[in-house]
């Protein structure tokens, strides 16, 4: 077989004229902005029917409108992931949107609420664990009837983690534990739902990606808890400047942070048929940073 013929064969296998995710129904939490919004757009561009979930109804609607106006298919189902009733509603509306089917869940919603161990409050601790561990578990549990099926269609769950969960990070005991826990949840899903139902579950762990969580704290970004408390987001400028010997980004071999689109592209890759034999894994998207 000639080299050119082999290339043509490979190209044929990679030719998805209707998109890598054509016909798939995907729930993406925290998709009103940042990595989640970019993931929603990329999924829609590859043929998925996207359920945009975000606590900010206005932002969720904006992303949904952009997708639909660009020829994609999306609905907004805004709500609070800490509300069990909302999770049930999200699954029901996603299944209705998908004519009784859901193929993909991306557990992306979350934020940081930092503090050193000896000053961290119970509220900080409980909030972050609930948002990054309990909420994804409840969503996966609620969606179980749509994943534990044998219809021959691919299904997968992608849980978003962080290098803080893989290596720990000073000032983030709550977030580090939560993001480490995500890895264990992922591996358990893979082992429980893989053998009989072929469900794939993988974790994507991000390093420094340019989002509101890694922007300068002085920019003033914040989230508001259900009880009205404002939580400042970002990294203090002094801390950012001191990272790594020689200044910011020196601890990243590529010498730059990743973009939200690059982060979302890694999620798309994991969700796609190109990763059909990858299961129970943690994929680090860090620009080469390993600490």
Angle between helices 34-45 and 260-271 (to 10 degrees): 50
Residue-wise pLDDT for 253-263, tens only, equals 888 889 999 99
Query: 123 CB contacts (<8 Å, ≥6 apart)?
Result: none
CA distance 212 to 231: 12
Q: Encode burial over 169-188: b for 16+ CB neighbours within 10 A, e otherwise.
A: bebbbbbbbbbbbbbebbbe
Query: What is the average pLDDT across 26-30?
Result: 98
The burial class, CB within 10 Å (0-12 / 13-18 / 19+), for 15 is exposed
Write down the pLDDT at residue 264.
96
Write out the DSSP string of 73-85: EEEE----TT-HH
Write down the pLDDT at residue 98.
98
Query: What is the average pLDDT across 25-29?
Result: 99
Place of tokens 């975000």: 54
CB 96 within 8 A of CB 47: no
CB 26 within 8 A of CB 271: yes
Q: Is 111 a catalytic residue?
A: no
Write down the pLDDT at residue 231.
77
Residue-wise pLDDT for 157-191, tens only, equals 999 999 999 999 999 999 999 999 999 999 999 99
The burial class, CB within 10 Å (0-12 / 13-18 / 19+), for 242 is exposed
Write down the pLDDT at residue 238.
60
Of the residues 86, 111, 146, 175, only one is catalytic, namely: 175
Q: CA geometry: angle at 258 spanning 57 and 15, to 5°?
A: 85
Residue-wise pLDDT for 221-254, tens only, equals 667 777 778 776 766 666 555 555 556 778 888 8
Average pLDDT over the chain reads 89
Strands 230-232 and 49-53: unpaired
Query: 85 CB contacts (<8 Å, ≥6 apart)?
Result: none
Residue-wise pLDDT for 84-135, tens only, equals 999 999 999 999 999 999 999 999 999 999 999 999 999 999 999 999 999 9
Q: What share of the chain in percent tops pLDDT 70? A: 85
Residue-wise pLDDT for 123-133, tens only, equals 999 999 999 99
């Amino acid at each position: 077989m000639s080299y050119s013929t082999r290339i043509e064969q490979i190209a044929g296998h990679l030719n998805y004229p209707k998109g890598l995710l054509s016909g798939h129904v995907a729930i993406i939490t925290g998709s009103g902005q940042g990595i989640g919004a970019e993931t929603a757009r990329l999924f829609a561009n590859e043929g998925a029917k996207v359920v945009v979930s975000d606590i900010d109804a206005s932002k969720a609607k904006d992303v949904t409108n952009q997708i639909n106006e660009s020829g994609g298919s999306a609905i907004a189902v805004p709500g609070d992931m800490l509300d069990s009733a909302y999770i049930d509603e999200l699954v029901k509306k996603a299944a209705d949107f998908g004519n009784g089917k859901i193929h993909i869940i991306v557990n992306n919603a979350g934020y940081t609420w930092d503090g050193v161990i000896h000053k961290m409050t119970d509220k900080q601790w409980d909030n972050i664990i609930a948002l990054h561990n309990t909420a994804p578990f409840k969503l996966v549990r609620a969606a179980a009837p749509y994943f534990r099926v044998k219809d021959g269609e691919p299904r997968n769950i992608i849980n978003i983690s962080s290098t803080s969960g893989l290596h720990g990070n000073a000032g983030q005991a709550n977030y580090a534990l939560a993001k480490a826990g995500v890895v264990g949840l992922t591996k358990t899903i893979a082992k429980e739902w893989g053998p009989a139902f072929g469900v794939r579950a993988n974790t994507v762990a991000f390093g420094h990606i340019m989002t509101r969580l890694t922007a300068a704290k002085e920019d003033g970004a914040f989230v508001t808890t259900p009880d009205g408390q404002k939580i400042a987001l970002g990294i203090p400028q002094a801390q950012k400047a001191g990272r790594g010997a020689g200044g910011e980004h020196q601890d990243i071999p590529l010498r730059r942070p990743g973009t939200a689109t690059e982060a979302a592209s890694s999620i798309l890759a994991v969700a796609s048929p190109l990763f059909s034999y990858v299961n129970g894994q943690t994929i680090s998207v860090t620009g080469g940073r390993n600490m």
